[in-house]
Structure 1
Amino acid sequence: MHQLSSLDAQLLDAETSTTFTHVGALSVLGPATPGRGLAAPDLRALVGSRLHLVGPLRWRLQEVPLGLDLPYWVDSESLDLGYHVREATLPGPGTDEQLAEQIARLAARPLNRNKPLWECWLVHGLTGGRQAIYTKVHPAVIDGLTAAQALAVLMDTSPRPRVVPHRFSDEQYQAAGVLGMVGKSVWHLGTLPAQLLWSSLEMAPHLPELAGTSTVPGAGMLTRRLARFAPRWLPREPSPAAPTPPETPFNGPVTGNRRFAFTSLPLGEVEAVGAALGFTVDDVVTALCTTVLRRWLIDHDALPGTALAAAMPVSVRTETGPFATARTRLSLVPVALPTDDDDPARRLQRVHTSLTAAPRRLRSAPATLVRDFSSALPQAVRGLISRTPLRALTTPTPPVNLVVSHAVGPARPVYAAGAEVTGNFPVSAVTDHAGITIAAMSYDRHLDVGVLACRELVPDVWDVTVHLHEALAELTACTRNVRHLRPRRPPR
């Protein structure tokens, strides 16, 4: 058996009846030879022949009695590929908009926690004889930044599927006995007082930086007193100020309804802008998202006077305190998106500055400290808090306007059961009060972008994809002013 990490459990606890944390990808397949399209049995056979390469896709949850401790992953005795690999057919004419509507409906459905937390859908009926594969998986199973890698395991670099030796991975976990789980839970409960004390002392110097604590009576005095007892090697200087999210039309209680849109940008143009102006591809992609959001807010007469606050997923190796173990985990870093600036040159420069400060903010981010503090709470208590107004103490997402991500995908075309993947669009997740997310992934020689939103908060999600092309044209035009846009070196 293998116990979930505290972050994995928090990702599960963060789900509600209207928000789910699973992530996915929409892979559009090129036109098939007439009468020889990909069939669901073929896809199931492909997945079944490769499933042993991805151990986590066989895991299911096993809860600890009475919620005394974090759940465990155990291997499923049998895997029903008829359930996990399904198919759907679009009505005519099978446009991209209809495909996006179908993906939005599938993304709005929760994963069944009684089964391994993933699904794969084969979609028929697209125009031009195309098909699509939509996969979704819970980030507690596979880190959001490695989900694309897991997807690539099920694909090939040539039209002829490779033969994979059938050898089970070493990550096989048997179901845990009740007595064994309870005994381990009792030991964990015995260490909780020391873990809570350590986490409290670690968080104390950063208490004023936590959202909302400035309005709590006595918070400043409590911070000063607790900080006296904090070990000397803990950082006492405040971390770089995280952006404060302003009010926008897409921030508010979300419903369970979704809208999805997708588009592709030429990766060569994105790289050319970065090379000409001295910025990274991450800088350019984030600046494109900033311009898109600015234009959308202007269209809705709702542009705030300050920068937006976005959360950006990064994968880091952490080791905090005597009770933590070194491991790679997904963290969300708050970055500022300067939608308040009307000059694309300054927006790009400010984006670069914000992304440069992100590593420092990550090392001492208050949101991370709160998450570490909540990990010391008993599972039953943490689950109870996650269903109350105090759920911000256990959520893995810091207070932000939206989530923006950029990942690097395959540099060459890949194939699924012989069909070429012509586009690989990420499908991320919205959070409780952040009703839109923009995710980009480089694939082959284009940048594939997926935009998922709450239908009621952002009904015109396709406008966002149109603005993306306009934003890239604007930055391309800015390359004439190379000297003006060179990034400033941070002071030593």
Structure 2
Amino acid sequence: MRQLTALDAQFLHAESATTAAHVAGLAILDPACSRAGAVTRECLIGLLRERVHLAPALRLRLATVPFDLDRPYWTEDPDLDVAGHVHEVTLTAPGDDAQLAEEVARIHERRLDRGRPLWEMHLIQGLTGGRVALYAKVHHCAIDGVSGAETLAALLDLTPEPRVVERPAPTPRTTAPGLAGMLAGAVARSVMQPARTLYSLGRMATELDTMPLASALPGARQVAAATRMITGRGRELPELPMLTAPRTPFNGPIGPERRFSYGSIPLADVKRVARSSGASVNDVVMTLCASALRAWLRERDALPDRPLIAAVPVAVRTASAQDVVGNQISVMVTPIPTDLACPRERLRVMARTMHTAKRRFAGSPAGWLGELSSMLPAAVTALATSTVFRLASIMLPPINLIVSNVPGPQLPLYLCGARVLAYHPMSVLTDVSGGVNITCFSYDGSLDFGILSCPDRVADVWRLMGHLQEAMDELMEQIEPAGRLTPVGSLPARQMVPA
């Protein structure tokens, strides 16, 4: 018996007419090395039938408690037919990147059917160069970024020849309790809810300075420091910067439509910049995002005079929880230096900011996201979440966007015999997290980006992808032949102009 955690259930409750809370990925495939020279729907269905036992999230469906009195349970679907989850479409000629992105955005807009396992796969034929694409989505209540990559990995091979996967010995099925058991659990948790709320408040008090909006309240930092001293939790922690998000075109109520763009940057270039500056790969990724967002906002005369605030998901999944369905994530909220005109200075400040955030996270992992989700009874959060999210987007957004970087394998992989050329991740847009989301996945020598937006907020999402690539070129141009970034003082005068 597995019940959704409060955080998992929050992803369900966040869904509305304008929000679809699934994560997804777009794999670009080259079928030339496969036996048939093609990837067919029948081949994909056969592969899923052989390996679905390796991916628990694909076998489970929701069992809801009457009137949403408690969080739903997972139950194994005895009638699972993977063929009903696999779809196929062929693009009209020429089948270019823009057409593919448009088709994927349309599919991504649609919410998953909660009456069956929460996933779909769409095989997209007709791409230029004989390529094929596979778009796969799974509800965020079932997976996070890392477990999503692991779910996909169950279908992948190290060679064009698919490996043989043995069927496991029969094991007890995951089942939900009966109606009486569900209602008994709901009553028990309702009785304990006041104590649970007080516990969550106590835990959150130590982290007030890490929470957007709350950290800006008068006395929040002093309360957090005093609570940590009393409880002995992370007394010697670095002080974090202010986490007040400025108003931008990204923020405000979102609509139901989506736009998508994608592209890749050589990982070797990112590593070269990181080595030359003493930064990490993730510092460079965050700087690229800051630079792209700055350029996009400047073009529209909408650049704030202070840094944007980004939420950065952090995987906290342990080895013992590898097969656990649901989310094992936390989040770091950090400023990104969109207010700095000098690329070198942006990288330096971003590296310093991320170093502080990581030190703070290591000393006191931010658990406020889960605690916040646990504070109210399940029935209240089920009714109120989407409304609260919309009100927050209108009044004062807690963050400007989410930026996520998921590490992946640095060797070629194959699906149904076809080589995976790239894998572009996609995530969730909500009213409260902003109308644009940037996610990247490192794979086989590349950083593969996926940018999702609401057209009411960012219509020209390809322009944002272009700015990312321009930002990489900008950093590479500053590396001297010796492999070092040039000192800030030697940059051209036009790059030193204050924001």
Task: Compute the TM-score of the two structures, normalised by the length of structure 2.
Answer: 0.86
Q: Which residue of 2 aligns with 1:380?
A: 379
Q: Which residue of 1 aligns with 2:496?
A: none
Amino acid in the other structure paired with 2:128: T
Q: Which residue of 2 aligns with 1:167?
A: 168
Amino acid in the other structure paired with 2:103: Q
CA distance in 2, matches of 1:388, 1:158: 49
CA distance in 1, matches of 2:242, 2:317: 21
- Tell me by how many angstroms 1:7 deviates: 0.8
Q: Secondary structure of the residue that 1:201 maps to in structure 2?
A: helix
Asked whether the 8 Å contact 2:273–2:485 carries over to 1, the reply is no
Is 2:347 aligned against 1:348? Answer: yes
CA deviations 1:88-111 (Å, max 9, x no partner) are 111111011100001101111111
Q: Which residue of 2 aligns with 1:415?
A: 414
Amino acid in the other structure paired with 2:399: V
Q: Give aligned pairs, total.
A: 469
CA distance in 1, matches of 2:230, 2:473: 52
Is 2:90 aligned against 1:89? Answer: yes
Q: 1:36/1:211 Cα in 2 relative to 1: closer, same or farther (>3 Å)?
A: closer
Q: 1:179/1:247 Cα in 2 relative to 1: closer, same or farther (>3 Å)?
A: same
CA distance in 2, matches of 1:255, 1:159: 42
Q: Which residue of 1 aligns with 2:444?
A: 444
CA distance in 1, matches of 2:172, 2:347: 44
Amino acid in the other structure paired with 1:463: R
Q: Where does 1:24-39 land on structure 2 (aligned, <5 Å)?
A: 24-32=24-32, 36-39=37-40
Using the TM superposition, name which of 205-214 and 40-49 deviates more. Answer: 205-214
Q: Which residue of 2 aligns with 1:120?
A: 121
CA distance in 2, matches of 1:174, 1:292: 47
Q: Which residue of 2 aligns with 1:15?
A: 15
Using the TM superposition, name which of 356-365 and 412-421 deviates more. Answer: 356-365
Q: Which residue of 2 aligns with 1:404?
A: 403
Q: Secondary structure of the residue that 1:386 maps to in structure 2?
A: helix
CA distance in 1, matches of 2:200, 2:229: 10
- Tell me by how many angstroms 1:363 deviates: 6.8
CA deviations 1:238-282 (Å, max 9, x no partner) are 962452211111211111111111111111111111112211111
- Tell me by how many angstroms 1:467 deviates: 1.6
Q: Which residue of 2 aligns with 1:295?
A: 295
CA distance in 2, matches of 1:390, 1:132: 34
CA distance in 2, matches of 1:171, 1:305: 58
- Tell me by how many angstroms 1:119 deviates: 0.8
Q: Which residue of 2 aligns with 1:108?
A: 109
Tell me how large the CA RMSD over aligned residues is. Answer: 3.0
Asked whether the 8 Å contact 1:58–1:116 carries over to 2, the reply is yes
- Tell me by how many angstroms 1:209 deviates: 7.2
Q: Which residue of 1 aligns with 2:137?
A: 136
- Tell me by how many angstroms 1:426 deviates: 0.8
CA distance in 2, matches of 1:214, 1:160: 54
Q: Where does 1:21-420 land on structure 2 (aligned, <5 Å)?
A: 21-32=21-32, 36-167=37-168, 172-204=173-205, 232-233=231-232, 240-316=240-316, 329-362=328-361, 368-369=367-368, 371-389=370-388, 399-420=398-419
Q: Which residue of 2 aligns with 1:322?
A: none
- Tell me by how many angstroms 1:337 deviates: 1.1
Amino acid in the other structure paired with 1:378: P
CA distance in 2, matches of 1:377, 1:440: 33
Q: Where does 1:476-491 land on structure 2 (aligned, <5 Å)?
A: 476-480=476-480, 482=485, 484=487
CA distance in 1, matches of 2:62, 2:414: 32
Structure 2: 5+ residue runs without aligned partners?
319-325, 489-499
CA distance in 2, matches of 1:350, 1:403: 19
CA distance in 2, matches of 1:158, 1:207: 49
CA deviations 1:341-367 (Å, max 9, x no partner) are 000111001111121122355479998
- Tell me by how many angstroms 1:213 deviates: 5.9
Q: Secondary structure of the residue that 2:140 maps to in structure 1?
A: coil
- Tell me by how many angstroms 1:422 deviates: 0.9
CA distance in 1, matches of 2:92, 2:464: 25
Q: Secondary structure of the residue that 1:356 maps to in structure 2?
A: helix
Asked whether the 8 Å contact 1:266–1:445 carries over to 2, the reply is yes
CA distance in 2, matches of 1:339, 1:301: 13
CA distance in 1, matches of 2:124, 2:469: 27
Asked whether the 8 Å contact 1:239–1:360 carries over to 2, the reply is no
- Tell me by how many angstroms 1:431 deviates: 2.0
Q: Secondary structure of the residue that 2:164 maps to in structure 1?
A: coil
Q: 1:331/1:208 Cα in 2 relative to 1: closer, same or farther (>3 Å)?
A: closer
Asked whether the 8 Å contact 2:144–2:327 carries over to 1, the reply is no
- Tell me by how many angstroms 1:233 deviates: 3.5
Asked whether the 8 Å contact 1:20–1:110 carries over to 2, the reply is yes
Q: Which residue of 2 aligns with 1:321?
A: none
CA deviations 1:106-160 (Å, max 9, x no partner) are 1111111111111111001111111110011112212222211210110111001
- Tell me by how many angstroms 1:44 deviates: 0.5
- Tell me by how many angstroms 1:202 deviates: 3.3
Asked whether the 8 Å contact 2:125–2:133 carries over to 1, the reply is yes
CA deviations 1:381-429 (Å, max 9, x no partner) are 1212214337789xxxx82111111111121111110111111111122
Q: Which residue of 1 aligns with 2:493?
A: none
Q: Secondary structure of the residue that 2:316 maps to in structure 1?
A: strand
CA distance in 1, matches of 2:369, 2:143: 23
CA deviations 1:29-63 (Å, max 9, x no partner) are 11547974211111101111100111121010001
Using the TM superposition, name which of 455-464 and 46-55 deviates more. Answer: 455-464
Q: Which residue of 1 aligns with 2:492?
A: none
Task: Compute the TM-score of the two structures, normalised by the length of structure 1.
Answer: 0.87
Q: 1:215/1:420 Cα in 2 relative to 1: closer, same or farther (>3 Å)?
A: closer
CA distance in 1, matches of 2:334, 2:216: 24
Asked whether the 8 Å contact 1:17–1:256 carries over to 2, the reply is yes
Asked whether the 8 Å contact 1:242–1:334 carries over to 2, the reply is no
Amino acid in the other structure paired with 1:383: A
Percent identity (aligned): 42
